[in-house]
Amino acid sequence: ALGGLEGLGIDTPKGLAKLKKRLENFSSMEELETPAGIKATLRDYQKSGFQWMQFLARHGLHGILADDMGLGKTMQTLAHLMEEKTSGRSGGKPSLVIAPTSVVPNWRAEAVKFAPGLTVLVLNGADRKKYYRSIPHADLVITSFALLQRDIEKLLGFQYHVLVLDEAQYIKNPKAKVAKAACRVIARHRLC
């Protein structure tokens, strides 16, 4: 039982009990090397962000990576996605990044330059519909918040290993269509 729940007649969910066991003796995050497939040297604070995301994923948790602009959150996330692929934890499922329209080309450029081992699919523009069938064959699918709500039914045809919401303030209003669409995406691990 967790925190005295046994006296309330409440059964602890199995997943929560398992997480409690894993975290009981937690002392620090595991020191991990940057994945070999990343073609960049991460600064110490970027390694910490990468290790934080790995910690979350390994414990079945979702999370938020908040940092100042320009400090490399995209790079840290690419390192995380590469590690998930090379370790086999992604199970061959793609990861989905949803970003502001203006940032989508930056995600693609950084992925191609710094994580060339990831197969990247960008869903953008009027011809994007012909690429939906390629989603399960990609490691990283990138689209925009603007297209998320338009394409949600097509995106729901697939399951994702990681869902990344870049600049997650775009879904701060839970009643907005874009926020509702983001919540419908099926993903094992969610990062904002």
pLDDT at residue 132, as a whole number:
96
Average pLDDT, the chain: 89
pLDDT at residue 41, as a whole number:
93
| Euclidean distance between CA atoms 75 and 43, whole angstroms | 10
| Residue 105 pLDDT class (50, 70, 90 cuts) | very high
pLDDT in tens, 14-33: 766 776 766 666 555 678 88
| Euclidean distance between CA atoms 140 and 87, whole angstroms | 16
Q: Which of 130, 127, 123 is nearest to 94 (CA)?
A: 123
pLDDT in tens, 32-89: 888 999 999 999 999 999 999 999 998 888 998 887 777 789 999 999 999 999 999 9
Interval 121-127 mean pLDDT: 95
Q: Give 1 or 168, the one with higher predicted confidence.
A: 168
Residue 187, beta-bridge partner list: 160
pLDDT at residue 5, as a whole number:
55
| Residue 101 pLDDT class (50, 70, 90 cuts) | very high
pLDDT in tens, 139-150: 999 999 999 999
* Run of H or E including 191: strand 187-191
pLDDT at residue 1, as a whole number:
46
| Token output for 86 | 């090379």
- DSSP for 69-101? TTS-HHHHHHHHHHHHHHHTTTTT--EEEEE-G
Residue listed under structure tokens 């938020």: 64
pLDDT at residue 66, as a whole number:
82
pLDDT at residue 67, as a whole number:
74
- DSSP for 105-129? HHHHHHHHHH-TTS-EEE--SGGGG
pTM above 0.85, yes or no: yes
SS3 (DSSP) at 66: coil
Residue 95, beta-bridge partner list: 140
